[in-house]
Every structure is written in C-alpha cells, then in structure tokens.
Amino acid sequence: MADIEKCYCRHCDAELEWSHKGSCPFCNKTGKKIVVEHTETIKIKENIRVVHQGERKKTDRKILLLMLSGMFGTGIIGYFIGGVIGLAFGIIVGGLSLAFSDKAIWKEKFKNTFESK
C-alpha cells in the first residue's frame, strides 16, 4: 500500500510545492488541486480439491467362464448319469458355483483425489 500525493495548479496543471500559497507562478491564477495515487497489491491463494468416488463392477473372466461351463456341463453330465447320483452331482457343482460367484463378479469401491497446489 503506497500513497503518492502531488499538488498542481488548478488552471495550468503546473506542479506546485505543497507549501505554495498565493497565485500560480506560471499562470498567475489561484487555486490548487491535489492528486492522490494509491497503489495496492493483493495476493490470492486458492486451493482446489476434487474427489471422484463410487463403485465399479469388476469381472474375473476366467472364473466366470468356469462357472458358465460348470452350469452347462452339469446339465449335460446330469442328463447322462441320471438318478440320485446325477442329482447329487448337480447340487455339488451348483454349490461350488454359488461359492465362487462373488469371485467372478464383484463391486469395487474407488476414490480418486485431485488437488491443486
């Protein structure tokens, strides 16, 4: 913050001393004008932070393929075996598929943060 004050003749704009009194030495008229120049510097510091978060679906293709082949394979094998053994085989493979289902498709949480400096 700096102020500069100057004194001028109101009529001819000649710069005068602050202490000057009476008529202007250049135009011989009376009247002064005072000009104040004010300079200020303002510093602004700003930070921006963006957080991007959510859930995305993830798939393990190998386990998914194994589950799908198990599903169709059980049906085909069960058709040929038949009876109680075929039923037990179907239940066992079905149970294995159920146990691995969350390993084939699951949701993953993510969080990305961007911050300006």
User: Exactly one of 7, 8, 27, 63 binds Zn ion (CB under 5 A); which one?
Assistant: 27
User: Exactly one of 20, 23, 26, 31 binds Zn ion (CB under 5 A); which one?
Assistant: 26
- 7 binding Zn ion? (CB under 5 A): no
User: Exactly one of 7, 11, 60, 96 binds Zn ion (CB under 5 A); which one?
Assistant: 11
The tokens 């009529």 sit on which residue?
Answer: 11
Identify residues 30-69 at the interface with Zn ion (CB under 5 A): none
Q: Are 25 and 8 in contact (CB under 8 A)?
A: no
Select from 6, 26, 2, 23 the least CA-distant residue to 14: 26
- 16 binding Zn ion? (CB under 5 A): no
Burial grade of 12 (CB within 10 A; 0-12, 13-18, 19 or more): exposed
Instruction: Retrieve residue 106's tokens.
Output: 């699951």
- 9 binding Zn ion? (CB under 5 A): yes
**Minimum distance, C-beta of residue 36 to Zn ion, in the bound complex (Å):** 20
Site mask for Zn ion (CB under 5 A), range 77-96, x = bound = --------------------
Contacts of 97 (CB under 8 A, 6+ apart): 67, 70, 71
What is the binding site for Zn ion (CB under 5 A)? 9, 11-12, 14, 24, 26-27
